[in-house]
Structure 1
């Protein structure tokens, strides 16, 4: 599928925006993302005053516990949603993999921008690859998905939780607290830290999380004009791909408590999606994939739904801590 944004004529929007406020977490990566959206909006609407409201979320404050133990990825978005509700902000910019699979009532995922590299990245100061790590080496990751694959492939390594923003995680590595860490390649590339990547991990078996590498913009449902202003920033291939991925995750109750992967790629108008659900210890897993022609959002979600049903038929429910969502 050609990488062409959704066509949207600005002339069809009755009034161009005069002022827009973007809610964002205050980490360096989150601010880069917000600034990127700001710059894109300024190109579309040169007369618009676009500002960024930096905020600290509970997910940023609670660093001594795994996300799966304290409420999941929604901790990174709640304060931003409150800013939308009370009128301090008009839109919120998120790393899409941090956005809950079911949007709260009154909120829309109004825009999905072009995806950066979705791979996981191996980062180490002393070793070139996971295979080079000696027995007992400490590897840090914030993801149960990554932890499951690592425990399956490298039972001799010590997998430890790794919390904090990207700079905090890199600092822990550089202080010698870990021999290596696994991060999303997208964040490193966006911050100009690509040189720190020692290896990009292969999609098989390190399948990314749903939405990894993509930016999502959230707005209130009651403001369709804002959604219309954002429409030219939508990237159709990315939107369809992440919609299929998020459908898989939604059907399986995807959260930080579930080692769940879903990643869709394109070959012209054919979408291929690969997904797995696993136990945290890596001893059990279900893997499914599918390919089909996708020409609409409905097609994309149908393909994702079929993959989820395949996983369920294989017994994926037994790997979910709370069973299938009702």
Structure 2
């Protein structure tokens, strides 16, 4: 008697091709519906971004390669001549250096003073809420209104600065008409306007900080400075990183305070890159140079942001 083993046919083990294809189509249908729904909801936003953000950038790139006085019917294509003239012009290089000083000083002072105010507001004292609200109020004012207030304060004849310097037996400097004092005056105004925003953001981060970590540090014998340096500052690094990016972009784009107080003067001592773009475009009517200058600002901001995201974010403790 011989034993024989019967193997099941291959067709019995595998499903029919029609069933496989039908199940695959059923699995792909929800995905297709999800893609269509995603496109349906995102298309209006992407269209608006493309029309009002990306298309102007492309148009500005094209305009930067031309020479146009805004009167001629068509711009004249000149290639990269505008960029060559800019980087061979000592005045423009001076504007870039002045812009770097402007951004570094404003961002550094705003972050340092804002963090100090936030630590002060974080203490549970009477009236701290009202004081923090007053500190934040200049941020919501327009730059023109802030500039008008400080023009009155800086007036050497009847302004508040005259009274303050008079207490020490000194005369008030000519803040906005002196090339030595115009930039410090603008920096004071810009810091005063933006420091409240920095302080409130830092205050929110301090109030949401885990208290058990701070209490553990105190139990281990850490002093106030050691706790602040080794625990508070690392925990605030995400907030600092956010403020660093936003404040750098805001400082590069500062225009209204400069326009109201000094108009880039005296003798170009307060001409930052944003004012230089306006001056080239709407005072000398050199649209090509203005467009090239704005592309330089775009590239610089993009480079600074990429540097921050690439290197500084590595030191952020999330």
TM-score w.r.t. structure 1 length?
0.25
Please identify the structure whose Cα radius of gyration is greater: 2
Greater relative contact order (Cα < 8 A, sep 6+): 2
**Higher strand fraction (1 or 2):** 1
TM-score after normalising by structure 2:
0.25
